[in-house]
Amino acid sequence: MRRITSAAASHPGLRREENEDSYCVRPDLGLFLVADGMGGHAAGEVASRLAVDTIEAFLTDTKTADVNRTWPFPLDVSISLDENRLRAAFRLANRRIAKAMDDNEALRGMATTAAAVLFGAEQPAIAHVGDSRVYLWRGGQLQQVTQDHSWVSEQVRAGIMTEADARRHPWRNVVTRALAGGDDPEVDLSPVIVQDRDRFLICSDGLSSVVTKETIEASLAAQQGLEETCQTLITAANAAGGPDNITVALLQVDVE
């Protein structure tokens, strides 16, 4: 038997007037999701909220398998049902963002990243587009499960830039993939086999772009309550300058 406990928190940071992040924590649905909106002013908030609402609604509608249900995308038999559900939900969110921009010229250019963990009947499904991240904390060590779709991360993976340089680079917020209303996006899926006492951290880049992996790891290793750990991470991001909105969702898996 698997039991999941969770907590989440969001903060605008110290340099932004608005909070364009959105999140969803639905233990009953097994869905934990963070979206980081882009586009400035209200548009980024609209994009992230639209993505979260669309993903949550689709996963609610598909929670119970129905062979007669028509999906907006073909089923890929090479991946699990929950991975199919997540990928379809992300792509449907992208289409909803496109329609919103078509309907309202003031929203043109908005976009959002998204990262999600979905616990269904099988092993958890993890999906992301953009530079919002999913981390796995296991046995006192922190592992980044997702790979950022961002310009600086591509430079780090190519060995051109260090992680420390990436956190300081003026282009650190430039993403190379997002839910932006164009063609159906490529959604990265990251399979993982869950173990007892695993913790998953989902966060916007308002945390990961300014707080080191070592600091995040130490915060999780402190074994505080989940809500307290979320606040500790937000405090760390603001102590590092708080240049962007900060959202964290933290969940713990207990296998009984």
- What is the tens place of the pLDDT at every residue in 4-62? 999 999 999 999 889 999 999 999 999 999 999 998 656 999 999 999 999 999 999 99
Give the pLDDT of residue 154. 78
Report, as an integer, the average pLDDT of 105-126: 94
Distance CA 195, CA 93 (A): 31
Read off the amino acid at residue 65. A
Q: How far is CA 127 from CA 31, 117, 133, 167, in A?
A: 11, 7, 10, 23
Report, as an integer, the average pLDDT of 207-225: 93
Distance CA 230, CA 111 (A): 25
Q: How far is CA 192 from CA 27, 80, 211, 230, in A?
A: 19, 12, 24, 23
- What is the tens place of the pLDDT at every residue in 134-186? 999 999 999 999 999 987 777 878 888 887 777 777 776 788 999 999 999 99
Say what the pTM is: 0.93
**CATH T-level fold of 2-255:** Phosphatase 2c; domain 1 (3.60.40)
* Percentage of the chain lying above the pLDDT 70 cut: 96
Residue 186 CA to its chain's centroid (Å):
15
Please provide the average confidence, as pLDDT, over all residues in the chain: 92
Any residues with CB less than 8 A from the CB of 231 and at least 6 apart, and which?
Answer: 9
Give the helix/strand (H/E) hosting 113: strand 111-118
Parse the chain into domains and list their residue ranges: 2-255
Residue 156 CA to its chain's centroid (Å):
20
